[in-house]
Structure 1
Amino acid sequence: MDDPDPVAVHCARCGRSRAEAAPADALAWAMTHDERGRTWLCPACARTHARDIEGKLPDEYW
């Protein structure tokens, strides 16, 4: 899969542009697929999102 143009990639939660990120941070962006299609999350929002998902898991999972 080709890497998208970093200028066109923005965080779906906070709107931060991937093009403005430091090179190492640009690698940490997470892509998600949902009903809206492909969306991107910056590293900070991706961490928050992961915690949200973990918080919604049933107790039996843990």
Structure 2
Amino acid sequence: MDTCRNCGAAREQDAARALAWARERDADGREHWLCPSCAREHVRDIEAKLPHELWG
């Protein structure tokens, strides 16, 4: 079962609720998840990782 990288919350099994989770990959290709609360709290950090070409 996947858990939130920040707070440790268990990822929802319900498909609609699971869609609210944010996925990220580290440099080694490992997948990590953020629950909706942590994702909202850290949205600027997440957006900062996007390529510059997507801003505008």
With the length of structure 2 as denominator, give the TM-score of the two structures. 0.62
Count residues with an aligned counterpart: 49
Mark the structure with the bigger radius of gyration.
1
**Same amino acid, percent of matched pairs:** 48
**CA separation in 2, counterparts of 1:53 and 1:16?**
19
Runs (4 or more) in structure 1 with deviation over 2 Å come to: 21-25, 51-55
Higher helix share: 1
With the length of structure 1 as denominator, give the TM-score of the two structures. 0.57
**Unaligned 5+ runs, structure 1:** 1-7, 56-60
